[in-house]
Amino acid sequence: MNLKQKLVRQAIGVSLCAAIGFAGLAFGQAPQASAATKADKIISLGQKYLGVKYRFGAPSGSTSAFDCSSFTQYIYGKYGIKLPRVSSDQAKKGVKVAKSNLKRGDLVFFTTSRTGKKIGHVGVYVGNNKMLHTYGKPGVTYSSLNTSHWKQAYVTARRVL
C-alpha cells in the first residue's frame, strides 16, 4: 500500500469516527427534546379538559369527571406514561425534583385537609409557577403555586418524563 492510499484510508477512518461521534451527540440530545415535546403534548391534552367537573374517586379512563390523580393518570397515559391511580403512589414514580428546578410536565404533590400531612393531591407543572390540575368547584383549572394555600400544602415534585 502506498503513502497516498494510507492517507486516504486514515482520512476515511477519521471522518467515520467524527460522523459516529456527532451522531452520538445528536442521539444524546434527543431525549431532552422528546421530553419537552411530550410535556407540551400532555399539557395541551389536559387543557382540552378545562372546566370538566371534579369528582373524588372518578374512575380511571373517564373524561366526564376527574379527580386529581385520575386526571394525571389519563393525560400522561395517552402518551405512554403509566401512572398509578392515586396521588400518593404517583409520588413514588420518576425522580425527585427540587421545587426550584421544576420543568413543564413535572408532577407536583400536595397535602390536603383530608390526608393531613400525607400526599393527597397532584397537579401538572406548566411553567411560570402554575399548575394544571382538578379540584372542587372549578374542576380542571390552572392554579398558581404562589398562593398561600398551595405554598403551605406543597410536599414534593417528581419528573416522570
- Render pLDDT for 92-140 as a digit per residue (tens, 0 to 9): 999 999 999 999 999 999 999 888 999 999 999 999 999 999 999 999 9
User: Which of 72, 81, 133, 135 is flagged as catalytic?
Assistant: 133
User: Which of 68, 81, 97, 119 is flagged as catalytic?
Assistant: 68
Q: Does residue 133 have an active-site annotation?
A: yes
Q: What is the CB neighbour count within 10 angstroms for residue 45?
A: 14
Tell me which amino acid residue 5 is. Answer: Q
Radius of gyration of the chain (CA): 22
5 within domain boundaries? no
Report the C-alpha gap between 87 and 110 in whole angstroms. Answer: 9
Q: Say if residue 29's pLDDT is above 80.
A: no
127 within domain boundaries? yes
10 within domain boundaries? no
78 within domain boundaries? yes
6 within domain boundaries? no
29 within domain boundaries? no
Q: Which three cell numbers stand for residue 155?
A: 410536599
| H-only helix segments in the chain | 3-47, 68-77, 87-90, 148-153
Contact 96, 160 (CB under 8 A): no
Residue bearing the bigger pLDDT, 36 or 155: 155
Mean pLDDT of 20-36: 53
User: Which of 121, 132, 141, 157 is flagged as catalytic?
Assistant: 121
* Number of domains into which the chain is organized: 1
Q: What is the CB neighbour count within 10 angstroms for residue 90?
A: 22
Report the C-alpha gap between 126 and 142 in whole angstroms. Answer: 9
Domain with 114 in it: what CATH number?
Answer: 3.90.1720.10
56 within domain boundaries? yes
* Domain hosting residue 118, numbered range: 34-159
74 within domain boundaries? yes
Is this prediction's pTM over 0.85? no
- At 1 the pLDDT is 60
